[in-house]
Amino acid sequence: MREPPVPFTILHFSDLHLDAAFATSRLPATLARQCREQLRVTLRNIVDLAKQRNVNAVTIAGDLFEREKLSPDSAAFLVQEFERLAPIPVFIAPG
């Protein structure tokens, strides 16, 4: 008799666009800055959810950040959040 399948849970998200300029949205600079901060909050929430749900892997598709516009501060933030995920593996398929 076959063993029952072992559940495998993946948390997937895409196109976070950290450091997005929001230039085409014509938002005031203060509101654009708030939107960029909310993108960080979103990633923190995703990491928290992955840990709470004890997922087996996190997959990320598309643009994690805005092309060449990733600031050193945001790069450090990404490293920090990915370190919080350990030992959960993270797989990235860049856009």
90 touches 78 (CB < 8 A): no
Q: Does the pLDDT at position 5 exceed 90?
A: no
Structural domain harbouring 14? 10-94
- Comparison of pLDDT for 86 and 22, the residue scoring more: 86
CA 78/CA 59 separation, integer angstroms? 14
- Is 55 domain-assigned? yes
The total of structural domains in the chain comes to 1
- Is 38 domain-assigned? yes
Residue type at 10 in one-letter notation: I
- Is 43 domain-assigned? yes
- Is 1 domain-assigned? no
- Is 86 domain-assigned? yes
CA 33/CA 19 separation, integer angstroms? 9
- Is 5 domain-assigned? no
- Is 69 domain-assigned? yes
pLDDT, tens digit, 9 for 90 and up, residues 26-74: 888 899 899 999 999 999 999 999 999 999 999 999 999 987 778 999 9
- Give kind and range of the element (H or E) at residue 10: strand 10-14
